[in-house]
Chain A
Amino acid sequence: MKAWIAFWNILAKDFRAYYLKPPNISWGLIFPLAWTGMFFIRSGEGVDSVPTLLPGVIAVSVLFGATSLLSVTVTFEKKGRSFERLLLAPIPLELLMLAKTAGAILFGVANAFVPIIMAAFLMDLSGINWATLIPAIVLIAISSTFLGLFIAVSVNEVFEAQTFSNFFRFPMLFLCGLFFPIEQIPIWLQPLSYALPLTYGADVLHASIHRPANLPLALDFVILVVFCILLFAFSLRNVRRKWIT
């Protein structure tokens, strides 16, 4: 019970201190808007292109929102040594890191609904399979956040966190089948596509909105969950190894 008081307060503090700050809210809105607009214009197919573009824009919004804020806030607190306060709290490290990541997960999920709300004005959303879409968004947010945690633990400076994030994010966007089908990617790059969590998230998003899935959906979900567990476990191991030296 006492540990949960700490959990909720770390989450609430992060929302107050970081996620609900006007620059982050506007960034969370403008970024998905810009991506949607860019692909909408680029497709040249007008409103008909919205269902095919929506999975990509949802994924981009979640990925960028979750990874950016988590990696930056954790690096910022580590640099200012306020993160030491959290490490000194008598709560399990697992719960502490879940508390730190919960805000970014929720922020990522909230970001996903910006393009969905916009799409509601342009297409009929009744065909969307919400039962698979919502869990996919949540799992993409979790895996993206844990990727951000992995990045935060690997760097020392805030600017390194941003640079290192892009090193993962941009290749992932173009290799995961969101904007180009994986079959169109050079064959030697295709194994890399299947090593990325977003590939499985993108498959569920496409299947939930406009086309059949490439893999069985259950398999997509299982692989996403495995990625989440592995990224979290690896980040925790790095926190213990690098921050409690």
Chain B
Amino acid sequence: MSVDGKIAIKVGALAKRFGDVEAVAGIDFDVREGELFGFLGPNGAGKSTTINILIGLARPDAGTIRIGGIDCSANPKAAQHLMGVVPDESNLYPELTGFDNLSFCGSLYGMTRRDREIRARELLERFGLAEAGGRKFGGYSKGMKRKLTIAAGIIHSPPILFMDEPTTGIDVASARRIRQLVADLNRGGTTIFLTTHYIEEAERLCRRIAFIVKGRIVRTDAVQDLMRRTDGRHVVQFAVSGGAAGLCESIAAEFPGIRCHAVSDTAVRVESPEPVRIGPLVRSIEDGGAEVAEARKLRPSLEDVFVEITGIEAGVMKQEREKARMGGGA
């Protein structure tokens, strides 16, 4: 991947309201050419609104947008030829075959029949869908639909790709394969703007990340630099029965140097700049009426950084992840 410092996407003071709701509140960021930029936040944070504005499906109330050097502030369609879009739902045509869907999407970008048919075959092969290419899209599994939707987004080989929650609602194996495809695309030089609420996904894929909460960007930084915040930090996660609620207050009161947050109803995570002594913590938790089933030392992750910066409990993000998985989306 070559990130040469040229700006592919530049956003300044971008704002959007829906009635009383401030969906995007004057955000600024830029994405460099060849970069895989993550836009991370919980549901309703303003990720999809931002991406919709950038791709021309929504109009901003205020702010400036430059994509590939083209000013799109007044004309949202001005840079559409430079971008590919993978929406959060697989929105191809159910009555067309996989091959015909790709070919049709290529035609929307002015590709000749020969060029788009060659490219469609190449992409079906690359995405492991060659055998399913002649079948109707409506009959595909969720994972296959997602892969074909990504293929449709890059049929015209765009230099900039917008991906909105590419792995939401699909099984683990398909999600892993899609992450590989995204990483490969970026290695091939495509600038990728990725929105996700999967923190591990962002950590694994992105070079830089912006955290967005309630329409505001609270931090933009390289993943490496964000992770530096966790250097020398020690994290232990306790699996408890009898309820995690209220445990953190008593731990924080008893152990002043330790930060604690509830990961779920049955787990709490503690962080400390010093090595964590398990025994006293276990006793404290069990004195509080809960029983410790397991204590596990963890490598500090981007999730911990996210929690620290945004103040949003990781449990909230996890619940959203589960909700998205149950509800599907692909």
What residues make up the interface of A, taking CB atoms closer than 8 Å to B?
1-3, 5-6, 8-10, 13, 16-17, 80-82, 84-93, 244-245
What are 14 A-B contacts with C-beta separation under 8 Å? Answer: A1-B110, A2-B109, A6-B108, A8-B107, A10-B108, A13-B93, A16-B96, A80-B94, A82-B92, A85-B105, A88-B85, A89-B80, A92-B77, A93-B77
Q: Is the CB of B112 within 8 A of A81?
A: no
Q: How far is the CB of A13 from chain B (nearest CB, A)?
A: 5
Q: Which residues of B contact A2 (CB under 8 A)?
A: 109-110
Q: How far is the CB of B250 from chain A (nearest CB, A)?
A: 48
Known: A2-B110, A89-B109, A244-B59. A84 touches B95 (CB 8 A): no
Q: Is the CB of B108 within 8 A of A244?
A: no
Q: Is the CB of A84 within 8 A of B87?
A: yes
Q: How far is the CB of B79 from chain A (nearest CB, A)?
A: 8
Once the chains are docked, how many angstroms separate the CA of A8 from the CA of B55?
24
Q: Any chain A CB within 8 A of the CB of B306?
A: no
Residues of chain B in range 259-315 having any CB-CB distance to chain A below 8 Å = none
Once the chains are docked, how many angstroms separate the CA of A85 from the CA of B89?
12
Once the chains are docked, how many angstroms separate the CA of A232 from the CA of B108?
22
Q: Which residues of B contact A91 (CB under 8 A)?
A: 108
Of the residues A5, A13, A90, A245, contact of B80 by C-beta under 8 Å? A90
Residues of chain B in range 36-53 having any CB-CB distance to chain A below 8 Å = none
Q: Is the CB of A88 within 8 A of B55?
A: yes
Main secondary structure of the interface of A (DSSP, over half): helix
What residues make up the interface of B, taking CB atoms closer than 8 Å to A?
55-59, 76-77, 80-81, 83, 85, 87, 89, 91-96, 104-105, 107-112, 152
Q: How far is the CB of B24 from chain A (nearest CB, A)?
A: 13
Main secondary structure of the interface of B (DSSP, over half): loop
Q: Which residues of A contact B96 (CB under 8 A)?
A: 13, 16-17
Known: A9-B104, A81-B87. A87 touches B112 (CB 8 A): no
Q: Is the CB of A88 within 8 A of B91?
A: no
Q: Which residue of A lies closest to B88 (CB)?
A: A81
Known: A6-B110, A90-B80. A84 touches B57 (CB 8 A): yes
Q: Which residues of A contact B58 (CB under 8 A)?
A: 244-245
Once the chains are docked, how many angstroms separate the CA of A13 from the CA of B112?
15
Q: Which residue of B lies closest to A240 (CB)?
A: B59
Q: Which residues of A contact B76 (CB under 8 A)?
A: 244
Q: How far is the CB of B160 from chain A (nearest CB, A)?
A: 13
Q: Which residues of A contact B111 (CB under 8 A)?
A: 5
Most buried by A among B56, B83, B107: B107
Q: Is the CB of A82 within 8 A of B91?
A: yes
Q: Is the CB of B57 within 8 A of A88?
A: yes
Q: Is the CB of B112 within 8 A of A17?
A: no
Q: Which residue of B lies closest to A87 (CB)?
A: B57
Of the residues A5, A16, A82, A86, contact of B110 by C-beta under 8 Å? A5
Q: How far is the CB of A68 from chain B (nearest CB, A)?
A: 18
Q: Which residues of B contact A1 (CB under 8 A)?
A: 110
